[in-house]
Amino acid sequence: MDLHRRHRWDLTPKEAVALQQELRAEVVTDRPLDLAGVRLVAGVDVSVKENVSQAAVVVATFPGFETIEVARAVRPTPFPYVPGLLSFREGPVLEEAFGKLTVEPDVFVFDGSGYAHPRRIGIACHMGLWLGRPTIGCSKTRLTGRHDEVPPEKGAWAPLLDKDEVVGAALRTRASTSPVFVSPGHLIDLASAIDIVMACSPKYRLPQPIRLAHNAAGAFEPGPDLFGRSTDPDRP
């Protein structure tokens, strides 16, 4: 891991913004990442239970999505939720989980934004700097930017524009459901990020790595409830 990018996390919101301004220059979002070379993908997510955050990083084969490793970490939640500063809330517990990995995933998919951020350094970019590995941001809702209506077919997408700059894409990973928001994290470009997220979404709205991480983080239990309805947010 790249120790040079480590830094303290106990900052005030104001200091956190200043740090983001420093780190944004280090983020690389113009590098293609060939799908054909991907063997292992990791999903990253954090669940919060009463001041306690639990992180889960699930490494799975690609394609096939067989889990080969799960790294977890539990810590008191250190920072409030502030739009634009999510990495300062989830970063510490994620670092601990990342430190437990014994394999090196080819790409990490985050439940959150990457470059599609007001200062162009969402959690996927920030943690990508720490990991020194390719990362992708994939959120369920929009943090910043606007986009035209996305065609209804699976795979269709529309550029996410913020201040006349393409910062990501609204991507239809599944027909008849709202699009997800994809943006480069670090060491990858937007086109490659879109390709990978689509390749990771054979059936559900959210890419498989994120679903696996979501489960491992304890956000929801799988299987139908007592009424025969699905408990899975991404299964109608």
Annotated binding residues for Mg(2+): 45, 111
| Maximal C-alpha separation, the chain | 52
Whole-angstrom distance, CA of residue 129 vs CA of residue 135: 9
> What mask, x for binding DNA by CB under 7 A, covers residues 110 to 139?
-xxx---x----xxx------------x-x
24 binds DNA (CB under 7 A): no
Tokens at residue 90, please?
A: 């989830």
99 binds DNA (CB under 7 A): no
- Rounded least distance, CB 17 to DNA, Å: 10
- Rounded least distance, CB 47 to DNA, Å: 3
72 binds DNA (CB under 7 A): no
| φ/ψ bin of 132: left (φ > 0), alpha (ψ from -120 to 50), beta (otherwise) | left
87 binds DNA (CB under 7 A): yes
Is the separation of the CB atoms in 129 and 158 below 8 Å? no
CA-atom Rg of the chain in angstroms:
17
176 binds DNA (CB under 7 A): yes
Closest CA to 52 of 25, 69, 37, 72: 72
150 binds DNA (CB under 7 A): no
Q: Which is nearer to DNA, 35 or 156 (CB)?
A: 156
Residue 45's CB is within 10 A of a number of other CB atoms, namely 26
Residues that bind DNA (CB under 7 A): 45-49, 81, 83-87, 111-113, 117, 122-124, 137, 139-144, 176, 218-219, 227, 229, 236
